[in-house]
């Protein structure tokens, strides 16, 4: 690698075996179109779109795996929603800005003149392309380290609330402070023999279900459902998209989280 990329390589903590992969990941299609027009070549130099496609899959895999490890009781739908709060244009563009990626983009004159180095869409796409290039260059383990480094804070926000034992108390404090509502817990399904039953519990606020989880007792299932609800709410708040519940809906005096 040439010294011109040292700052970026330090920011992502990865050094490429083949520097052309990083160069391609940083090449926007606007740059390629101009170069093709200047040379008259029938085969323009490649841009970063194929690497972006690959990087998108890698990021979703790594983040999805991290969420599954942290939230072993979460349902597929909840995991998908949490992953979407981590992996999106805003989050990837933010990671690109922290890494200083914009300064290294290879843009066409038009994009350069219209502020392409600061455009969230271009930054997010390039960030995915860089991760795709890391995957090709160093494999999945290297890509996982880079993704975790870049998105660590957002992943942590998505799994917040899973380390405190009394999740139900924390969830009640959260919902009462924001919506003057207490959570309601309902057993929605039971399975297994009498001596080894599994209870699935849904937790709702103001008529809207927040999460579901299963456990060997009602209390265990309630705690797990509360933990998952806390994680979802924290991720949505970090994303600036907390559920818009009407604080006047429902009776704050009804419901007992310890029931």
Quick check: 187 and 259 in contact, CB under 8 A? no
Q: Which residue has the tokens 């705690």?
A: 223
Count Cα atoms within 13 angstroms, Cβ side, for 45. Answer: 21
For residue 221, give Cα distances in angstroms to 116, 133, 198, 202, 213: 49, 42, 9, 9, 6
Quick check: 183 and 255 in contact, CB under 8 A? yes
Q: Annotated catalytic sites, by residue? A: 56, 128
């Amino acid at each position: 690698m040439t010294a011109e990329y040292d700052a970026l390589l330090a920011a992502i903590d990865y050094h490429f075996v083949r520097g052309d992969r990083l160069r391609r990941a940083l090449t926007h299609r606007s740059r390629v179109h101009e170069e093709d027009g200047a040379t008259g070549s029938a085969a323009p130099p490649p841009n970063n779109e194929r690497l972006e496609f690959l990087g998108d899959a890698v990021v979703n895999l790594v983040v999805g795996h991290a969420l599954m490890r942290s939230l072993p009781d979460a349902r597929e739908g909840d995991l998908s929603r949490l992953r979407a709060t981590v992996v999106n244009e805003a989050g990837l563009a933010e990671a690109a800005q922290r890494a200083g990626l914009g300064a290294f983009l290879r843009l066409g004159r038009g994009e350069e003149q219209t502020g392409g180095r600061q455009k969230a869409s271009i930054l997010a796409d390039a960030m995915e392309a860089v991760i795709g290039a890391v995957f090709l260059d160093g494999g999945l383990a290297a890509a996982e380290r880079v993704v975790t480094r870049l998105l660590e804070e957002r992943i942590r926000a998505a799994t917040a609330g899973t380390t405190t034992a009394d999740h139900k108390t924390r969830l009640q404090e959260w919902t009462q402070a924001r919506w003057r509502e207490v959570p309601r817990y309902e057993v929605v399904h039971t399975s297994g023999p009498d001596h080894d039953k599994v209870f699935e519990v849904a937790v709702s606020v103001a008529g809207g279900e927040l999460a579901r989880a299963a456990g060997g007792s009602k209390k265990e299932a309630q705690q797990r459902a509360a933990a998952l609800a806390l994680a979802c709410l924290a991720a949505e708040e970090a994303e600036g998209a907390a559920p818009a519940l009407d604080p006047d809906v429902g009776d704050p005096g009804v419901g007992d989280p310890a029931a």
